[in-house]
Amino acid sequence: EVQLVESGGGLVKPGGSLRLSCAASGFTFSSYSMNWVRQAPGKGLEWVSSISSSSSYIYYADSVKGRFTISRDNAKNSLYLQMNSLRAEDTAVYYCARHGDYVRAFDYWGQGTLVTVSS
Amino acid sequence: QSALTQPASVSGSPGQSITISCTGTSSDVGSYNLVSWYQQHPGKAPKLMIYEVSKRPSGVSNRFSGSKSGNTASLTISGLQAEDEADYYCCSYAGSSTLFGGGTKLTVL
């Protein structure tokens, strides 16, 4: 069974940093592109970043470019999101999502971890 | 990187059909057959319902169907059921980024 479990969320002050993790199991993690998608309270989904299976290709939304860094450790079946210079508008539930290979879409999602940026 | 445009809300009675539109541009929806749709119930993670414009993942009811014409994609739900009440989001590949729609709240009357 495919499982994605996010962790690392919490309360942080504006300008601060946080590192999110996503532990994957139930599939060959190293074969899939992975993504972070966020959802501000009461708002819609926003794609944040993606990383290819071997980390060769990395993309970011304009809203986080230069502040967030996506990475992965295929030996540990883990995905990360380093978030720096956090702003109030970064407050959201952050989801880890797998991009399918045959099914070309976000086919599995984690339960999300809440990041709150507030003084 | 502008969001795709969806109606804020739609509604229908049990047994009826509804369609949710998703309008993008020639740089995203219009250029790629990589439109997907997600269902999200309150407090839950999104669930993939349609991928590559019109394909259904295993386990998704055939009451859900997708299509695309030009820069607009559509999700149709036929035979509405109470459990279909949720938020629905479209999503499109856009080259080096991915765009979501603003979401549509479906109310089953």
C-beta atoms of B36 and A95 within 8 A: no
Q: State pLDDT tens for residues A86-111.
A: 999 999 999 999 999 888 899 999 99
Nearest to B51 among A61, A104, A109 (CB): A104
Whether the per-residue pLDDT at B14 is higher than 80: the answer is yes
The C-alpha of A119 sits at a distance from chain B's nearest C-alpha, in angstroms, of 25
Q: Which of B1, B45, B51 sits opposite A62 (nearest CB)?
A: B1
CA distance A70 to A40: 19
**Amino acid A103: pLDDT:** 82
Shortest CB distance from B57 goes to which of A95, A103, A111? A103
State the number of CA atoms in the 13 A half-sphere of A69 facing the CB: 8
pLDDT of B1: 65
pLDDT tens profile B84-106: 999 999 999 998 899 999 999 99
Confidence of residue A10 (pLDDT cuts 50, 70, 90): very high
> For the residues of A19-68, what is the DSSP string, one character each?
EEEEEEESS-GGGSEEEEEEE-TTS-EEEEEEE-TTS--EEE-TTTTTTE
**B96 reaches A (C-beta below 8 A):** yes
pLDDT at B5 over 70: yes
Nearest to B36 by CA among A68, A48, A47: A47
Interface residue A41 vs chain B (CB under 8 A) = no
Sequence-distant (6+) residues with CB within 8 A of B83 are none
Q: What is the pLDDT of residues B32-63, one digit of tens each?
A: 999 999 999 999 999 999 999 999 999 999 99
State the pLDDT confidence band at B2, using cuts at 50, 70 and 90.
confident
- Give residue-wise pLDDT tens across range A15-69: 999 999 999 999 999 999 999 999 999 999 999 999 999 999 999 999 999 999 9
Chain B contact for A94 (CB, 8 A cutoff): no
Measured between beta carbons, the chain B residues lying within 8 angstroms of A35 are 98
